[in-house]
């Protein structure tokens, strides 16, 4: 069974309240092709919403088969969340797990050029496994999560002060 991420962007207003916002994030070339064929919009509203266990591992340690460093331990659900995001998590109920949030300040301050030993390898056909000593590879976190992650981060950076923009997220299997 796979795992998916559910992400929501919030911006803190002048009154200090968090407001749900739907910025436009670019689709990957592959997704753009499918959207055009289906007559759908060529953008999406949720950052980091591809099924990427590399990203899941760095954001919250979920499906972290590579044993990548995390930005922060999961924080739980913010108490001052917007009504729209609260309603979305209520919809998922107990199926939502590892609830957390990260500010754009945290996302940009993280050392993406840090090198780590990616412990995920493919063995026995297509099955993922943990690397034995001498297997796997040393990569930067930037290489690990991929360019599309940073395209989404650039969009987030343009929404306001990095301390006043956050991504609230959780996972569902």
What dihedral angle (degrees, nearest 10) is formed by the CA atoms of 125, 128, 131, 132?
A: -50
What is the percent of the chain where pLDDT is above 90? 60
Please classify residue 32 by burial: count the beta carbons closer than 10 Å to its beta carbon, then call 0-12 exposed, 13-18 middle and 19+ buried: middle
Nearest in space to 3 (alpha carbons), one of 96, 76, 69? 96
pLDDT tens digits along 36-81? 777 777 667 788 888 889 999 999 999 998 999 999 999 999 999 9
Domain ranges of the chain: 4-172
Nearest in space to 148 (alpha carbons), one of 35, 39, 27? 27
Position 126 pLDDT exceeds 70: no
Residue 101 and residue 72 in contact, taking contact as beta carbons nearer than 8 Å: no
The whole model's pTM is what? 0.87
């Amino acid at each position: 069974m796979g795992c998916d991420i559910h992400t929501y962007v919030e911006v803190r207003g002048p009154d200090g309240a968090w407001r749900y916002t739907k910025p436009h994030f670019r689709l990957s070339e592959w997704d753009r092709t499918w959207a055009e064929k289906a007559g759908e919009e060529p953008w999406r509203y949720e950052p980091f919403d591809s099924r990427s266990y590399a990203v899941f591992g760095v954001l919250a340690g979920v499906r972290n088969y590579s044993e990548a460093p995390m930005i922060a331990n999961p924080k739980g659900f913010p108490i001052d969340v917007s009504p729209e995001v609260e309603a979305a998590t209520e919809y998922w109920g107990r199926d939502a797990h590892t609830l957390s949030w990260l500010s754009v300040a945290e996302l940009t301050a993280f050392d993406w050029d840090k090198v780590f030993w990616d412990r995920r390898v493919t063995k026995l056909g297509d099955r993922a496994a943990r690397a034995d000593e001498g297997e796997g590879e040393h990569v930067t976190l930037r290489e690990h999560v991929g360019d599309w992650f940073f395209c989404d981060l650039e969009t987030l950076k343009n929404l306001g002060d990095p301390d006043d923009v956050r991504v609230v997220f959780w996972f569902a299997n």
